[in-house]
Structure formats: C-alpha cells, structure tokens
C-alpha cells in the first residue's frame, strides 16, 4: 500500500530540501511498497533557481562588455577620448580589495553557519559592511567624476562607464539587501539555510565579476 506523500516537498519548502546531499540526480528507487521517498536533489530549489538566474546575468554582463569593447575599438582619437577626465584607478583598486574581502568574509560565514550559526554572525556582518563601503565609496567617486565633466552624454566613453559600473552597482545594492536580511535572521538565531546559500551564490557572482569589469573599464 502506497501512502500519500507530504505535499510540501515540491513547493520549495526550505526545511525539507537541504542541499547537502551528494547523491546523483538520478536516484533509482526500489519498486517495493512503502511511501515514495522524496527525491534527493543535488541543489535546493532556491540555489538552483539562483544559479540559472546568474547564467542570464553573466550573459547580460557579457553583452555589456562586448558592446564596450566594440565601442572602444571604434574610437578614432584614443581611449578615453581627449578632454575626458581620467578614471580614479587607485581609489577603485582599494574599493575592489574591499569587495573581494567581503567575498572572503562571506565564505568564512558559510563555513560556520551550518554547525554553529551564532559564530557566523561577525563574518557575515563584516561582509555586509565591506560591501556597503564599496558601494558608498564608488558613489562618492561618481560625484567627483560628474563634477569633472564625465557624464552619460559627454561621450560614448562616459556612457559606457556609467552603464556598466551602474549596472554592477545596482546588482550590489540588491544583493546587499538580501545579505542584510540574512544577517538579521542570523541575529535572531533563525537562519534559513537555502535562502542563505542562494544569497551567497549571488554575492559571489557580484564580487567575482567586478575585477573583470574593473580590468576592462578602468585599466584597459
């Protein structure tokens, strides 16, 4: 006699689908009686969904970067065009370091959160603070650049700069929002692991793509 299966399983119930299984996606079930076992999944719904979203995001930035490279190759009077301000390479290098460190801090939190969630608190908030520092400091740079005359309409160079760096900033801010909500959960001692892992994946994407953008937009 086969019994009715719990209905929560396929609805992304966070508690029931911890993604720690090392089983293959194709689990063969015995054909005897007993309740149908819940499908063991390699990645939880939230993490898999986020990874698919990140695929689109990578292609979005891929599109922006290829457009930038084509735009740059069309420039007939050098890049950046004459009369346009120089980008603050050193300050941004420092900000980049802060963002990378926030990725490291989040990884430390990841190592601790499963076994002892309370100890993950300080690295998680360190990651949030470093990410916030990056955003604020980059915003401060924009104020300076606009004052120096680099705007969206001043040249294709300016347009690409604000488009690409702005698209990244928007992602950082959304991801920070998710990180903060995870941080608040940790403070209350009730962290949803799937939500944390999904946020983590997105933050690594945001951190990981920045050095590429920095190298292309600022250094080349």
**Binding positions for other proteins, rule: CB under 8 A:** 2-12, 17, 25-29, 31, 36-39, 41, 43-45, 48-49, 52-53, 55-64, 66-67, 70-71, 74-75, 81, 152-153, 155-157, 159-160, 163, 167
Helix (H) or strand (E) holding 116: none
* Residue 111 token pair: 């190592």
Q: Minimum distance between the CB of residue 217 and other proteins, rounded to whole angstroms?
A: 14
* Residue 148 token pair: 């120096």
Q: For other proteins, give the closer residue by CB, 22 or 56.
A: 56
Q: Minimum distance between the CB of residue 15 and other proteins, rounded to whole angstroms?
A: 15
Q: Cβ–Cβ contacts within 10 Å for residue 116, how many?
A: 10
Q: For other proteins, give the closer residue by CB, 2 or 147.
A: 2
Q: For other proteins, give the closer residue by CB, 48 or 129.
A: 48
Q: Minimum distance between the CB of residue 219 and other proteins, rounded to whole angstroms?
A: 21
Distance CA 48, CA 165 (A): 27
Q: Minimum distance between the CB of residue 50 and other proteins, rounded to whole angstroms?
A: 9
Q: Minimum distance between the CB of residue 62 and other proteins, rounded to whole angstroms?
A: 6
> Where are the alpha helices (H) located in the chain, listed in sequence order?
45-74, 89-113, 121-148, 156-187, 193-213
Distance CA 194, CA 43 (A): 9
Q: For other proteins, give the closer residue by CB, 28 or 147.
A: 28
């Amino acid at each position: 006699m086969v019994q009715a299966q719990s209905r929560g399983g396929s609805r992304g119930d966070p508690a029931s689908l911890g993604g720690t299984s090392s089983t293959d996606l194709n689990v063969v079930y015995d054909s005897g009686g007993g309740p149908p076992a819940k499908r063991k999944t390699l990645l939880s719904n939230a993490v898999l969904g986020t990874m698919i979203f990140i695929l689109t995001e990578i292609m979005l930035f891929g599109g922006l970067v290829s457009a930038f490279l084509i735009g740059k190759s069309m420039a007939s009077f050098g890049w950046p065009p004459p009369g346009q301000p120089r980008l603050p390479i050193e300050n941004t290098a420092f900000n980049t370091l802060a963002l990378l460190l926030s990725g490291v801090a989040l990884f430390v939190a990841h190592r601790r959160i499963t076994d002892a969630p309370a100890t993950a608190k300080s690295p998680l908030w360190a990651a949030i603070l470093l990410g916030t520092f990056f955003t604020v400091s980059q915003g401060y740079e924009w104020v300076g650049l606009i004052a120096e005359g680099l705007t969206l309409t001043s040249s294709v160079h300016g347009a690409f700069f604000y488009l690409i760096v702005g698209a990244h900033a928007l992602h950082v801010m959304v991801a920070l929002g998710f990180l903060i909500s995870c941080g608040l959960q940790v403070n209350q001692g009730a962290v949803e692991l799937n939500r944390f892992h999904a946020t983590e994946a997105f933050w690594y994407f945001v951190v990981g793509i920045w050095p590429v953008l920095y190298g292309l937009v600022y250094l080349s």
